[in-house]
Amino acid sequence: MDNINSLIEDSLDTGAHLNINIKDNSKIKIERRLPFLLIFRNPRPNDKRIVRLVLGESSYIITTEEEDHTGDIGQVIRLLSKRLSKTFGAIMVMEIWMGDEGSNTFKIKTPKTKAPATVDTLADGLKNFCASQRRLDVKIEQTSLRYPSKLEPILTIEQCQEVGAFLLGLEIPPFFLNKENNEFYYLLFRDFKTHFSKVLRKSIYEFIRVQTSFDISNYNVLGSTSISPKAYEIDKQLAEIQDQYQFLLLISPINTMEAKTQFKKNQYTTNPKFLYRLLPIDPDHLKESLFKIDIRSIDDPTLAFLFTDKREEIEKQITMLKERGTRNFMFSSIRLYSSVDKDLYETAKFLLKEIPAEDNSAARWVDCYELAAKCQEEIEYYKKFYPEMDSRVEIKHDIVGMLVSKGQLYIGESFKVPENRVDALVHHEIGTHVLTFFNGKAQPFKQLSTGFADYEELQEGIAVLAEYLVGGLTGDRLRLLAARVVAGHTLTEGFNFEETFHELTQTYNLDIESAFQVTARIHQGGGCTKDIIYLRGLIQLIDYLKEGGELEPLFVGKIALKHVPLMEELKLRGILKPSPLFPRFLLDEKALERLERIKDGVSLLTLIS
């Protein structure tokens, strides 16, 4: 043990990361000098499941039930506690163990009157979890017996006083185990582990903030700053699967222009036949590979949540590719993008009724080549700040409109826009979609560039907001977004292509060109509700900003609003780096003035430029 003690002393002297096996079935991890230590005496060393409640944290000792205050591990705990207490004035030591079979009570074992904020925070957090479960409750016991009743203490009260340690015990009921049937409820355990990690850090934060000299600003700082190689490998595996297909390209028809010509020739009375690119993947084989990825092995609850969520989204995409051209494609798209709810539908109808169609007959129209040149100019601007931004603009004959995939911009050969929409589209595609791809690519996780689950709604919300901020969100553009929502509603109500088209032209006065494009996009693949996320994403983003949310953190990569606090946590833990690119349009004074108006609260109608 002399060598182990020497390594611990060196770690405490230098702040170096320490993660070693002390002896058989005993392990110590100290990422940096923090005035807390978790202890778990594993009753079943070969069972690696329950021990994961502490494995994702930054300071712990895992050992066996044979160890107590008289043994080597007890000596290590005293050494750590004494050194850290001397440095910071106090240390919190928490032992965690499982309660007896049949127990439904979290038991917090605490001394009298000491660190009430710590105990209350722990109790309140556990009570919040219990509120969503049947039969579980929380009990605070003021006692000197703060260790498993069947064992000897790992640290006696006298030893705590000697080394300056605040000892807390937590007994966790085995509600996720059914020994009688030999069942382990993994999903329930996973949810608890995620919740428990946050509760644990919040309670430790309260102790450190009040009882020690350690300078701490946020409980997330207590999270692990090191990511296991396994987590990076899983991130890579998920990205490699996604790299095998370009989802948006594969669900987009390659004969849209020909289909439009035929539809017009048939007096807008027959449903077009769309053709698609050949699938470069075997969906079933890809799913097999997807579910072989061992996400359960990730101890970090934040990363485990992010990667599990992403795998579910990839599975939905692969299913949609397999179902392309069938009615089932639409049902799978609802699983991925959801459907139009009543409030969104009413908002869309209101916008279409209130916003008059614009007359662009006198406008100068910009073709795909001029637009491509403008977009390339914007790329060159960003390259001055980040040369690794190897984006390009490509004109393709087999797509309609504009499409960003893997940081590259594709523009349909037939695409043209009024001149007053050019800047808006440049900042929509380059200043949002391309920029967030390369910001994400600069981070250690590939998912920040390929996109965490459900990222598209926020992406499109930001992109449309960018159009407003640069003064290019026109009435026709807002009408188009509203029309997509109405078309999404008709799709799920059973309308076919022809019926949706006539609903848009006759009821909402959309011009034939716009109505066809909206209908083609909503019926692509067999019916896809993706286009409803533009207006929905804008509305949700505006609500986020009105509630005090900041815009800049949203450009870290391709994330959803639900990921914002998780990204903040990863930044505080030192895992994410500063983003290399900042949106050009947010440097403009007029754009910032418009942003302030959004934060103050405006109606959608007032966004029209």
- Name every residue whose Cβ is closer than 8 Å to that of residue 334 and which is 6 or more positions away in sequence: 492, 529
Q: Let me know if 158 is exposed, middle or buried by CB neighbors in 10 A (0-12, 13-18, 19+).
A: exposed
Question: What is the Cα–Cα distance from 348 to 520, expressed in whole angstroms?
Answer: 19
Over residues 21-32, the mean pLDDT reads: 88
Give the helix/strand (H/E) hosting 78.
helix 72-88
Instruction: Give whole-number Cα distances, 63 to 10, 56, 59, 158, 566, in Å.
Output: 22, 16, 14, 22, 31
- 73 touches 26 (CB < 8 A): yes
Q: What is the DSSP letter of 134?
A: S
- 375 touches 429 (CB < 8 A): yes
Q: 18-23 and 393-396 as β-strands: parallel, antiparallel, unpaired? A: unpaired
Model confidence band, residue 2 (pLDDT cutoffs 50, 70, 90): low
Q: Is 90 exceeded by the pLDDT of residue 348?
A: yes
The DSSP result for 498-541, as a single string, is: HHHHHIIIIIS---HHHHHHHHHHHHGGG--GGGGHHHHHHHHH
Q: Is 90 exceeded by the pLDDT of residue 210?
A: yes
Instruction: Supply the pLDDT for residue 8.
Output: 83
Question: What is the Cα–Cα distance from 30 to 58, expressed in whole angstroms?
Answer: 6
Over residues 216-228, the mean pLDDT reads: 91
Instruction: Supply the pLDDT for residue 13.
Output: 80
Instruction: Supply the pLDDT for residue 360.
Output: 80
Q: Is 80 exceeded by the pLDDT of residue 201?
A: yes
Instruction: Supply the pLDDT for residue 1.
Output: 66
Q: What is the DSSP letter of 279?
A: P
Q: Is 80 exceeded by the pLDDT of residue 114?
A: no
- Name every residue whose Cβ is closer than 8 Å to that of residue 335 and which is 6 or more positions away in sequence: 316
Q: How confident is the model over 125-172, as pLDDT tens digits?
A: 999 999 999 899 999 999 999 999 999 999 999 999 999 999 999 999
Residue with tokens 């949106």: 583
Q: How confident is the model over 393-406, as pLDDT tens digits?
A: 999 988 878 999 88
Of the candidates 449, 501, 194, 492, the one whose C-alpha atom is nearest the C-alpha of residue 335 is: 492
Over residues 411-416, the mean pLDDT reads: 92
Q: How confident is the model over 289-321, as pLDDT tens digits?
A: 999 999 999 999 999 999 999 999 999 999 999
Sign, Cα dihedral of 442, 446, 451, 452: negative
As a whole number, the mean pLDDT across the chain is 94
- Name every residue whose Cβ is closer than 8 Å to that of residue 24 and which is 6 or more positions away in sequence: none
Question: What is the Cα–Cα distance from 448 to 440, expressed in whole angstroms?
Answer: 4
Q: How confident is the model over 363-395, as pLDDT tens digits?
A: 899 999 999 999 999 999 999 999 999 999 999
Q: How confident is the model over 522-576, as pLDDT tens digits?
A: 999 999 999 999 999 999 999 999 999 999 999 999 999 999 999 999 999 999 9
What amino acid is encoded at 199 in this protein? V
Write the class of the CATH domain 2-216.
alpha beta
- Residue 587 CB neighbour total at 10 angstroms: 9
Instruction: Supply the pLDDT for residue 46.
Output: 84
H-state helical runs in 323-367: 327-337, 342-354
Q: Lowest mean pLDDT: which of 244-258, 303-317, 339-353, 574-588?
A: 244-258
Model confidence band, residue 10 (pLDDT cutoffs 50, 70, 90): confident
Domain with CATH 3.40.630 in the chain: 2-216
Over residues 408-423, the mean pLDDT reads: 93
Question: What is the Cα–Cα distance from 574 to 215, expressed in whole angstroms?
Answer: 16
Q: How confident is the model over 257-276, as pLDDT tens digits?
A: 899 999 999 999 989 999 99
Over residues 28-38, the mean pLDDT reads: 93
Q: How confident is the model over 446-497, as pLDDT tens digits?
A: 999 999 999 999 999 999 999 999 999 999 999 999 999 999 999 999 999 9
Model confidence band, residue 20 (pLDDT cutoffs 50, 70, 90): confident
Alpha carbon of residue 346 to chain centroid: 29
H-state helical runs in 35-185: 52-55, 72-88, 116-130, 157-163
- 92 touches 110 (CB < 8 A): no
Question: What is the Cα–Cα distance from 45 to 65, expressed in whole angstroms?
Answer: 9
Instruction: Supply the pLDDT for residue 4.
Output: 80
- Residue 279 CB neighbour total at 10 angstroms: 12
Over residues 177-181, the mean pLDDT reads: 85
- 147 touches 93 (CB < 8 A): no
Question: What is the Cα–Cα distance from 472 to 431, expressed in whole angstroms?
Answer: 14
Q: With H, G, I as helix, E, B as strand and everything else as coil, classify residue 225.
A: coil
Alpha carbon of residue 606 to chain centroid: 31
Per DSSP (E only), the strands in 368-472 are 393-396, 402-405, 408-412, 416-418
Q: 91-98 and 36-42 as β-strands: parallel, antiparallel, unpaired? A: parallel
- Residue 265 CB neighbour total at 10 angstroms: 9
Of the candidates 337, 343, 305, 335, the one whose C-alpha atom is nearest the C-alpha of residue 319 is: 335
Radius of gyration of the chain (CA): 29
- 310 touches 447 (CB < 8 A): yes
Instruction: Supply the pLDDT for residue 324.
Output: 95
Of the candidates 101, 113, 250, the one whose C-alpha atom is nearest the C-alpha of residue 176 is: 101
Q: What is the DSSP letter of 140?
A: E
Q: What is the DSSP letter of 223?
A: B
- Percent of the chain scored above 90 by pLDDT? 86
